[in-house]
């Protein structure tokens, strides 16, 4: 059964998600629609880019991913389709595919401008219904991306400014950045397990600094720390996270996306 994923900032209190699913089902009844999330913060392209990068690898081969976090809807911003070796992504060209493209071995990019594939009349405020849903449905039912419009250069796509990659600073600290805060208040950094293993031989001997707090060692699970205590952990995204057992690290530390995180060897080791 062909699979389409949906990732939007529409929420579920309005009919927008249901309308998109109705369009998809009307055009491709055999498609299975899976929601990644519809609770992206409104217009938060950065958050959507992280969610998409975290989720898409768990989908079946040749899935179609439709992303509608689209502050520029109705403007001159482009609609694009990106085909990788594993999937096809349909989205506005606003940087939301940046992290996916960083992980792709190769990619073909197509401008989505074949208006014969749209629902008409096309609203200037709801391309999720009139452009992305019908295009995703046709792709998952077998249409080739070449039918959507001309191929364009990968380098022409808008990329988000994601800040510096994790790096060692002059004092020997691995420096990273908070890139995502989930609904529990866990602060997810861009420091992956691979970065930690590359720079530190003994992960039990490291300290993690977040804000003005220093955490000694990495926990195996949230319950390793007492309730209400800070901990550092390599979480389900395989990245270093700052958490509080049964509380919100974002609230406790007053930290958010973009704030720095540091890892270093304990002074006594």
Give tens-digit pLDDT for 145-188: 999 999 999 999 999 988 889 999 989 899 999 999 999 999 99
Say yes or no to pLDDT of 24 above 80.
yes
Residues of the chain with CATH 2.40.30.90: 167-265
- Phi and psi dihedrals of 178, rounded to 5? -70, 125
Mean pLDDT, residues 176-201 = 95
Mean pLDDT, residues 184-204 = 94
The whole-number pLDDT of residue 161 equals 87
The whole-number pLDDT of residue 137 equals 98
Q: Which CATH number fits domain 3-156: 3.40.50.720, 3.30.390.30, 3.40.605.10, 3.40.50.10790?
A: 3.40.50.10790
Say yes or no to pLDDT of 106 above 90.
no
The whole-number pLDDT of residue 155 equals 94
Average pLDDT, the chain: 96
Mean pLDDT, residues 183-209 = 94
The whole-number pLDDT of residue 227 equals 98
Say yes or no to pLDDT of 79 above 70.
yes
The whole-number pLDDT of residue 6 equals 99
Contact residues for 93 (Cβ-Cβ < 8 A; gap 6+): 77, 78, 79, 80, 157, 158
| Better pLDDT: 96 or 162 | 96
Mean pLDDT, residues 38-46 = 97
pTM over 0.85, yes/no: yes
The whole-number pLDDT of residue 1 equals 80
Q: Which CATH number fits domain 167-265: 1.10.3720.10, 3.40.50.300, 2.40.30.90, 2.30.110.10?
A: 2.40.30.90
The whole-number pLDDT of residue 269 equals 58
Measuring CA to CA, which residue among 90, 140, 141 is closest to residue 114?
A: 90
Residues of the chain with CATH 3.40.50.10790: 3-156
| Better pLDDT: 202 or 94 | 94
The whole-number pLDDT of residue 251 equals 98
């Amino acid at each position: 059964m062909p699979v389409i994923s949906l990732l939007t900032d529409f929420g579920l209190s309005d009919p927008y998600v249901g309308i998109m699913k109705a369009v998809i089902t009307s055009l491709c009844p055999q498609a299975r629609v899976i929601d990644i999330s519809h609770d992206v913060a409104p217009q938060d392209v950065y958050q959507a880019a992280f969610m998409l990068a975290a989720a898409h690898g768990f989908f079946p081969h040749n899935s179609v991913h439709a992303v509608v976090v689209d502050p520029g809807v109705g403007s001159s911003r482009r609609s694009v389709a990106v085909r990788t070796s594993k999937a096809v992504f349909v989205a506005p060209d606003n940087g939301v595919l940046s992290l996916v493209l960083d992980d792709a071995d190769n990619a073909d990019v197509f401008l989505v401008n074949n208006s014969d594939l749209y629902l008409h009349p096309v609203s200037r405020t709801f391309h999720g219904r009139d452009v992305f849903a019908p295009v995703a449905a046709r792709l998952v039912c077998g249409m080739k991306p070449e039918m959507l419009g001309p191929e364009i250069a990968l380098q022409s796509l808008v990329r988000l400014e994601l800040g510096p990659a994790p790096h060692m600073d002059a004092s020997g600290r691995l420096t990273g950045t908070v890139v995502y805060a989930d609904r529990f208040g866990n602060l997810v950094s861009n420091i992956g397990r691979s970065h930690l293993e590359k720079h530190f031989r003994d992960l039990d001997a490291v300290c993690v600094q977040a804000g003005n707090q220093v955490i000694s060692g990495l926990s195996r699970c949230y319950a390793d720390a007492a309730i209400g205590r800070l901990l550092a952990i390599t979480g389900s995204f395989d990245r270093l996270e700052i958490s509080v057992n049964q509380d919100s690290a974002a609230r406790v530390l007053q930290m958010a996306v973009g704030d720095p995180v540091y890892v270093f060897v304990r002074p006594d080791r």
